[in-house]
Each structure stands twice: as structure tokens, then as C-alpha cells.
Amino acid sequence: MATVQDIEFKDPAARASAANEELRDMQGEKMVLNMGPSHPATHGVLRIVLELDGEIITKAEPDIGYLHRGDEKIAENMTYTQFIPYTDRLDYLAPLANNVAYALAVEKLHGIQQDLPPRCQYIRVMCCELARISSHLLGLGAFAMDVGALTVFLHTFTEREKIYNLIEALTGARFTTTYTRIGGVSRDLPPGWTDQCRKFLHEVVVNFDESEKLLTRNRIFVDRTRDIGVISKADAIDYGLSGPNLRGSGIDYDLRKAHPYLVYDQLKFDIPTGSVGDCYDRYLVRMEEMRQSVRILHQCLDQLPDGPVSISNGKTVLPPKEKVLTKMEELIHQFILVTQGENAPPGEIYFGAENPKGELGFYINSRGGGTPHRLKIRAPSFVNLGILSHMLPGCMMSDTVSILGSLDFVMGECDR
């Protein structure tokens, strides 16, 4: 077969063009591969358009929007209380934490966040930390299953079911809780709930130890995660990452410490951080975060005060049913709150809470009345996915599964 050197070209440009054409033929064409939106490793309806050179990713474009429901627009046509059930459907692995974050945002708009009773604040913190453990348990179990460790998923799912039993006893529902109210929570702790919670906390730490024995020094798991999907400190900041993905890169930033809310400033807990920023560091950070959540829950149970679980302002919180049935003033307040909503002052606020996936923020623009003029949700899963197009190129195709599992996103809040 004749080579480029055997063929005489009068034009040097033609010779160079022929050489480049032969080089492209030797390398082969790049392949475009659709990963998702129906793929078990994408943890939901996420589509990633991958450009591959052999097994190496040369370009990656996440394609989202398959689960879009228009939550932010729906909020503009509902009272503040009516929108609470929609927050359950954001990060549906931690609905209690979503409820609390949204309630705190609306209370900041009304200027009543400092009036919350101490018991209500402690109960909300316990809800957030139970949601954090539940979310991390499923996230780690699915992450381990993605890289071949099925047993870990069974271990973590067992403990998550115990959390759901606690949540069901507290809220009446296992999944879509709708537990918080503007100015408080819907009901107090049921009898015996604190003892059940203490029992769970003693059992779940045993599960943490077992899961770590199965993973932390497992040769296959370490090879699939160490030095894979590295996110530097600078990139983590530039792409706006938050939560364990940010702290896995060595940045000590947690809204519970940086901008304390509820009673987090009265509780002792540490913020775990990584050193390399790879998939393995993000796994270690989430494992330690669950232990710190157990530590917080023990303190809440020990310090839990007595008292009401909602503020006493009848114009903001639904009055007790027995008063509605016997007093005219409470009946009027009930009617106005249900039909028109809480009368919020004009203005705009932003509140961010440290959710399991990162910073869940609510921006509310009010022109007065019982419904928001504009509501914008800062979803941590949406922001965290933005770094995929930067970090996937250069990785092996098989590394994509490990990286997606380590980012731990939920498409429900990503698409909103």
C-alpha cells in the first residue's frame, strides 16, 4: 500500500492535508454516547451526552429537564402554607429538611424567626439531622452498588427503614411529610418517640461500622474511587458547589456553622473535610457527617425543652381546633388563613439551609398579601451537576458511574 511519502505532491499544503487525513483514519472517529435518561447509574432522569475517544471521555454535556414540574411558578399561585407539600418533592430523600428550610425562609420574610419556641427549634433540628442520615444512607448505598458492592446497599437500606418508622410516627407519613408550618410544626412529638429515637441512634452507629468495614479498605472500592473525579478547591468554589461535595475538596464551609439558624449555635459538632477532593474523600465526608448527625441528635434529645411547638400569633399560625369551634376571633383567623394566606409584608429575602445535598436556598419576592410574587429555589443538585462538563473529560467511561454516585444528586430538586 502506498504511503504518503511515496506519493509526489506539487503543493505542500496538499501533502500536509493527506498526512492529516491518514492520521485521522489511524485514530478512528470519536463516538457520541447517550448515557441516560433511563440508566440506573444516573440516579434519575439525567441524560449525559458523552463524546468518547475509545474508552476516554473527551467531552460531556449534562442534559436536564426531563422531570421539570414548574414548582417555582406554581408557588406564585398558592398561599405560603399551601406550597409546603411541594417542598417534599424537591429532594424527595430528605423531605423533612426541605420543609424546615422553606418554613424558615417564609418566617424570615414575616420577621418572626426569632419568635419560634425553643421546643419547636429543637424538633426542627432533629428533623433535619434524621433527614441527613436518611439521605446519606441511601446515597452511600446506591454509590456502593454502582461500583459493585450490593451488600452495603442492603445494610444502609435497613437503617433507612427504621428512620422512616420514626418519621411515620412523627408526621403520619413516611415519604411526603409536610410536617412544618409557618411559625412552628404541625404537631408535637408523640409519646415514646424520644425513646424510639435513642434506640435507633445506638443501632445505626453499629451499621456505620459495618459499612465502613465493607468499603473503606476494600481494594475494589478504593481502586474505583481514589484519585477519580478530583475536584480542586478552586474548581469547587468557581462552580458554586456546596455540601459534602464542597467539603470533600477540603473547604470547611457549613451553613450550620457559618450562618447558624435554629439552635445549631448551641450544639457541638464537627465539620468533616477531605484533602484530595476525589470520590473517596466525598465518601469519607458523608460517613463522618452521619456520625456528627447522631451526635447532634443525642444533644437535642438531652436538651429538649418543654413548651409549645408553634408561635401564639393567630394571624400567622392556624389556631387550635378547639378554639376555632368555640370562639369567633379564632374562627375568623382560621377562615382568613385558609382562604387568603398569611399577610406577608412587601420585600424580598433569601434564606439558605444546609441540606444533605448542599445549600438549599429560597428567594422570595413579596408585594404583600398571602402569596409570593416570585419564588426562586436554589437547588444544590442543580448547581453540583454543573461541574460534570468540566470534570468528566479525561476520565475513563467506567469512571462516570463512580463520579455520579459520589456527587449524590436528586433530579427532583434539580429540575424542580
Integer Cα distance of 230 and 143 in angstroms: 16
For the segment(s) 63-415, the CATH number from 3.40.50.300, 1.10.645.10, 3.30.1330.30, 1.10.1200.30 is: 1.10.645.10
For 61, phi then psi, to 5°, come to -130, 110
Contact status, residue 140 vs residue 283, Cβ threshold 8 Å? yes
Give the SS3 label for residue 378: strand
CA atoms 287, 290, 291, 292: torsion sign: positive
**344-364 mean pLDDT:** 93
Nearest to 248 by CA among 272, 269, 227, 225: 272
Integer Cα distance of 158 and 156 in angstroms: 5
Total Cβ atoms within 10 A of residue 24: 10
Contact status, residue 254 vs residue 354, Cβ threshold 8 Å? yes
Q: Is the pLDDT of residue 20 over 60?
A: no
Contact status, residue 44 vs residue 413, Cβ threshold 8 Å? no
Residue 150 identity: L
Integer Cα distance of 156 and 56 in angstroms: 33
Predicted local distance difference test score (pLDDT) of residue 33: 87
Contact status, residue 208 vs residue 291, Cβ threshold 8 Å? yes
Question: What is the value of pTM for the model shown?
Answer: 0.89
Integer Cα distance of 84 and 342 in angstroms: 13
| Per-residue pLDDT tens digits for 337-347 | 888 888 889 99
Integer Cα distance of 346 and 360 in angstroms: 23
Question: What percentage of residues in the chain have a pLDDT greater than 90?
Answer: 56
Total Cβ atoms within 10 A of residue 205: 15
Q: State the cell numbers at 333.
A: 383567623
| Per-residue pLDDT tens digits for 79-121 | 998 899 999 888 888 999 999 999 999 999 998 888 899 999 9
Q: State the cell numbers at 14.
A: 496538499
Integer Cα distance of 144 and 151 in angstroms: 9
Integer Cα distance of 153 and 158 in angstroms: 9
Residue 121 identity: Q
Break the chain into its structural domains and give their ranges: 63-415
| Per-residue pLDDT tens digits for 369-405 | 889 999 999 999 999 999 999 999 988 988 999 999 9
